[in-house]
Amino acid sequence: MRRVLRGVAFALPVIAALLFLGNESRWVKPADVPPFLLAHRGVHQTFDTQDLRNDTCTAARIHAPTHTLIENTLPSMRAAFDAGADMVELDVHPTRDGAFAVFHDWTLDCRTEARGVVRDHTLAQLQSLDVGHGYTADGGRSYPLRGKGIGLMPSLSQVLDAFPSQRFLIHMKSRDAQEGRLLARHLAALDADALGRLLVYGSDEPVGALRQALPAIRVAPRGALVQCLLRYEALGWSGHVPEACRAGLMLVPANVAPWLWGWPHRLQKRLAAVGTQLVVVGPYAGGDFNSGIDSSEALAQLPAGYHGGLWTNRIERIGPLVRQRKLD
């Protein structure tokens, strides 16, 4: 028994040392490239995030505007790419006539002058609306963007035509598998290069149906995003990248990232080898992944040489800071 205990006592430090060495990041030379910037909603009006619920009208609680850009519009996306975005996130809804409209909310009530569910309208009806109608920073005393968003709701086809060489993260908002099959039909005409610039995420039902109908598209079902983190934390010590983490996206809250095996450079290398983009989002505090790396303070918390992805709601601020950091 003593011999067994001595063997265990000897083996444990050796195992611990091997785990440490196999997951230590400092000996992995990071690529000499800046971080990958993912602009959530493009350049948009920011808003107070306190006590947000799923049905909160965020347009009714914006901060005082410093620009007139409106999320999910072509000018917003163009400004995001000009600010340094490598990828822009957008939201889509199927329309009554079989197109896909690019718009954040499930209903029209908050941001436009119309009422009702987005998918109950035709594309022509949606494109006649003012997507800046409902924005206010003073409780409804003034509406600084009213009249400035008329006709600015694009279709997904218009977005892809306007930015033929740019990358997009497409968010499907429903749990409808038929939506995934419809999106597959829309994207099936794209060539391999164009498909390779797209990544689709959302609920498991539509994203799973999309992948089944169009296997070439990269997807990140919501269930896989959670499973990826949990399974990597359980198995990543061995260097193994779970299936849920392959050929997709790993979203990592900034306050969780330091606890992941191989963080940051070795983890980034492992994920890149299986075709997955690592993206750090804002700290997890019991909510979802809407918070981002949105300030110079948040950017400064990342390790030196970090070259993975950053999810930001303030690309107009973070893009120039990242460029300056690279020059320095």
Residue-wise pLDDT tens digits, 32-45? 788 999 999 999 99
Task: Count structural domains, the chain.
Answer: 1
Mean pLDDT to the nearest integer, 166-185: 98
Pick from 97, 139, 144, 140: which is nearest to 118 by CA?
A: 97
Pick from 208, 210, 193: which is nearest to 100 by CA?
A: 210
CATH classification of the domain holding 311: 3.20.20.190
Q: Angle at the Cα of 314 (from 78 to 32), degrees rounded to 5? A: 85
Mean pLDDT to the nearest integer, 182-200: 97
Tokens of 141: 């005393």
Residue 141 is assigned to a structural domain of this protein? no
- Give the pLDDT band of residue 14 (cuts 50, 70, 90): very low
> Which pTM value belongs to this model?
0.92
Percent of the chain clearing pLDDT 90 (strictly above): 82
- Neighbouring C-alpha atoms within 13 Å toward the C-beta of 153: 30
CA distance 190 to 246: 23
Residue 314 is assigned to a structural domain of this protein? yes
Whether the ω angle into residue 264 lies within 30 degrees of 0, i.e. cis, is yes
pLDDT of residue 15: 41
pLDDT of residue 32: 74
Q: What region does 289 belong to: left with phi over 0, alpha with psi -120 to 50, or beta? A: alpha
- How many secondary structure helices (H) and strands (E) does the chain include? 11, 9
pLDDT tens readout for residues 122-148 = 999 999 999 999 999 999 999 999 999
Can you give the residue range of the structural domain that contains 217? 29-97+155-327
Beta carbons of 228 and 242 less than 8 angstroms apart: yes
Residue 57 is assigned to a structural domain of this protein? yes
CA distance 273 to 241: 10
Residue 16 is assigned to a structural domain of this protein? no
Q: What region does 151 belong to: left with phi over 0, alpha with psi -120 to 50, or beta? A: left
Residue 133 is assigned to a structural domain of this protein? no
Residue 233 is assigned to a structural domain of this protein? yes
- Give the pLDDT band of residue 54 (cuts 50, 70, 90): confident
Residue 22 is assigned to a structural domain of this protein? no
Residue 134 is assigned to a structural domain of this protein? no
